[in-house]
Structure 1
Amino acid sequence: MRKWFKNCILLLIAACTVLAITACSSKDSLQKVRVAEVTRSIFYAPQYVAIEKGFFKEEGLDVELKTTWGGDKTMTAVLSDGADIALVGSETSIYVYAQGSTDPVINFAQLTQTDGTFLVSREKVENFDWEQLKGSTFLGQRKGGMPQMVGEFVLKKHGIDPHADLDLIQNIDFANIANAFASGTGDFVQLFEPTASVFEKEGKGYIVASFGEESGQVPYTTFMAKESYLDKNEATVEKFVRALYKAQQWVEENDADEIAKLVQPYFEDSDVETLAVVVDRYKSQGSFAKDMKLTEDGWNNLKTIMDEAGELPDDVEYEKLVNTKIVENVIKK
């Protein structure tokens, strides 16, 4: 009996060892991809879905995600090899190119195709009209970034000169804009979700308009990497895009409540109900780029917005900074 018991123990230890080795080998076999996202936002729901549903792991990838809080910091991470892939506005690739980079940053897949910010008023407005912004203090986004440029584009569309018709504040760091408004700065503010909806729920502000609906389609947030990284890791990047494509389709096919429940761990300060409202808002205005292809029309719209904001340093052709081959391969397969 004692011998039998001893043999069972030995077999159990051996089985556990094999399982441990298998688990380690499985983890080690995954290829690490370091992704730097410009901010943490429900606007990027498909990316979090790809992680939570295991779509990246299905492709043999171990995605390490970090939030870098700002376009300049995100691009610095990629250019200094602190990250392999950036999720950031396409305008940043133009800035890098215009500085004479010998290893340009290439846009290879689009995550969102509209602006993701909303106009929030400090006071409740029953019948909002853009004319109401004239003479107000407007807390805008960082100068040179897509939110700020789209914001100014929309204001001009409604006959408002952002530098003459209102008191425009642009000197507050991206990560502190919401806190500044909550502390009493500004009559209106341009905010991402879920912050805008949280403010509305807490009575700190009221959503009165969507910059995404007003500005039309634009490559607002894309995945990009240095040309040298794409050349050396094309197969890996295709797997990365394939996982994201699955996530985009999953988001398209599932309701807001289901999506909110899945991504809620990324937004510990927001409840599922609020997140569902935000997801539904983004889905209804077509923010998620389900086919992930950055179009030439979208690129030209981006340049128009940058030019009108006085921020276009170089009229860069679509083919120079956009690679659609990877997305096309994924869709074809």
Structure 2
Amino acid sequence: MLTIGLTACGEKEEAVQKVRVAEVTRSIFYAPEYVAIEKGFFKEEGLDIELTTTWGGDKTMTTLLSNGADVALVGSETSIYVHAQGSDDPVINFAQLTQTDGTFLVSREKVENFEWDQLKGSTFLGQRKGGMPQMVGEFVLKNHGIDPQNDLNLIQNIDFANVANAFASGTGDYVQLFEPTASIFEQEGKGHIVASFGTESGHVPYTTFMAKDSYMKENKETVEKFTKALYKAQQWVEEHSAADIAKVIEPYFEDTEVDLIETVVDRYKSQGSFATDPILDEEEWNNLQAIMDEAGELPQSIDHKTLVNTSIAEKASK
């Protein structure tokens, strides 16, 4: 009996902590997130990730605020919008996943020697007003001397999930798309990638993991473990080839050929889209607000330290 009792005590395992994560969309752009799950990095930290795709920034933030998720993966601008509404439980950015815009400019017709001026007079199918893709899109256009409101026919009233379908159905001369949709359209002859918004806009906290301040205070150790697992995945992605990464994340894109996944991952790696650590620094935060301000969407300037917690990411990265 004594032997049995000792064995039972010795085999006692730590309780696994479930973390409900709501991601704004399903995208190869978020490869390190899927690597962290598939390579067991979250599991190593005693975390069980319940991943849900909520399709759109507004829906993702609503899910987080209504306690439908513990952590959200979404653009940092959403935390600023919530703060501006006077929330008594602000949403805090604690781990950055991507550090550039993840969209590409796709032309309906094949364009030789593309120049941004060619957009003038065209119909441009952009992303939802107030979201990071649309704001970065306008920021880049303005940097190339194009007034989005006057130099082209800008369409931005189509729901995020339906933008690609609208273009495929014949709407617009140009469209701003995420991968793998952009490459799939090119492969199927529906469009042609002519430019990257990510290379044009510089470093921004494009997608970050965030949680309500109350959750972070009540679950400090869980958030630390989550960030540590993410950092392991970021380093793994940095050190491995696009082919290796594609094989790992393939289960998340069942309708996409692994060769195409590899092409997209390589494109994102080559332009430095995947953050190599989870630290969201002040320069990136200020660049984000400059883009929002240029788009007329910045409700108020927010100090980096108000909505960003870097201490957890800094600890995880050591």
Alignment TM class, shorter chain as reference: over 0.9
Tell me the distance in 2 between the aligned counterparts of 1:169 and 1:56: 40
Partner of 2:7: none
Pick the structure with more helix per residue.
1
How far has the Cα of 1:42 moved from its partner? Answer: 0.2
1:264 to 238, 247, 250: 250
How far has the Cα of 1:76 moved from its partner? Answer: 0.5
Tell me the distance in 2 between the aligned counterparts of 1:29 and 1:36: 22
2:18 to 18, 32, 56: 32
How far has the Cα of 1:30 moved from its partner? Answer: 1.2
Tell me the distance in 2 between the aligned counterparts of 1:255 and 1:298: 26
How far has the Cα of 1:107 moved from its partner? Answer: 0.3
How far has the Cα of 1:120 moved from its partner? Answer: 0.2
Q: Deviations over 1:171-202 (max 9, x none)?
A: 10000000110111000000000000010011
What TM-score do the two structures reach when normalised by structure 2? 0.96
User: Aligned with 1:29: secondary structure?
Assistant: coil
Tell me the distance in 2 between the aligned counterparts of 1:42 and 1:331: 23
Tell me the distance in 2 between the aligned counterparts of 1:130 and 1:329: 42
How far has the Cα of 1:29 moved from its partner? Answer: 2.6
Tell me the distance in 2 between the aligned counterparts of 1:177 and 1:79: 26
Tell me the distance in 1 between the aligned counterparts of 2:198 and 2:65: 29
Partner of 1:70: 56
Tell me the distance in 2 between the aligned counterparts of 1:46 and 1:330: 15
Quick check: which has more Rg, 1 or 2? Answer: 1
Matches within 5 A, 1:107-256: 107-256=93-242
Residue 44 in structure 1 maps to residue 30 in structure 2:
yes
Tell me the distance in 1 between the aligned counterparts of 2:148 and 2:16: 49
1:289 to 261, 266, 275: 275
Tell me the distance in 2 between the aligned counterparts of 1:275 and 1:86: 24
AA aligned opposite 1:290 = T
Tell me the distance in 2 between the aligned counterparts of 1:211 and 1:292: 22
User: Aligned with 1:225: secondary structure?
Assistant: strand
Tell me the distance in 2 between the aligned counterparts of 1:315 and 1:331: 28
Tell me the distance in 2 between the aligned counterparts of 1:162 and 1:32: 44
Tell me the distance in 2 between the aligned counterparts of 1:248 and 1:191: 24
How far has the Cα of 1:114 moved from its partner? Answer: 0.2
Tell me the distance in 2 between the aligned counterparts of 1:193 and 1:68: 17
Tell me the distance in 1 between the aligned counterparts of 2:73 and 2:23: 5
Percent identical pairs in the alignment equals 77
How far has the Cα of 1:291 moved from its partner? Answer: 1.4
How many residue pairs are counted as aligned between the two chains?
309
Q: Deviations over 1:139-187 (max 9, x none)?
A: 0000000000000000000000000000000110000000110111000
Partner of 2:79: 93
Contact 2:278-2:317 at 8 Å conserved across structures:
no
User: Aligned with 2:194: secondary structure?
Assistant: strand
AA aligned opposite 1:103 = D
Partner of 1:314: 300
User: Aligned with 2:283: secondary structure?
Assistant: helix
Tell me the distance in 2 between the aligned counterparts of 1:260 and 1:280: 9
Tell me the distance in 1 between the aligned counterparts of 2:276 and 2:57: 23
User: Aligned with 2:317: secondary structure?
Assistant: helix
Moved over 6 A (4+): none
AA aligned opposite 1:291 = D
Q: Deviations over 1:91-132 (max 9, x none)?
A: 000000000000000000100000000000000111100000
How far has the Cα of 1:292 moved from its partner? Answer: 1.4
1:60 to 29, 39, 46: 46
Tell me the distance in 2 between the aligned counterparts of 1:323 and 1:121: 39
CA RMSD of aligned residues (A): 1.2
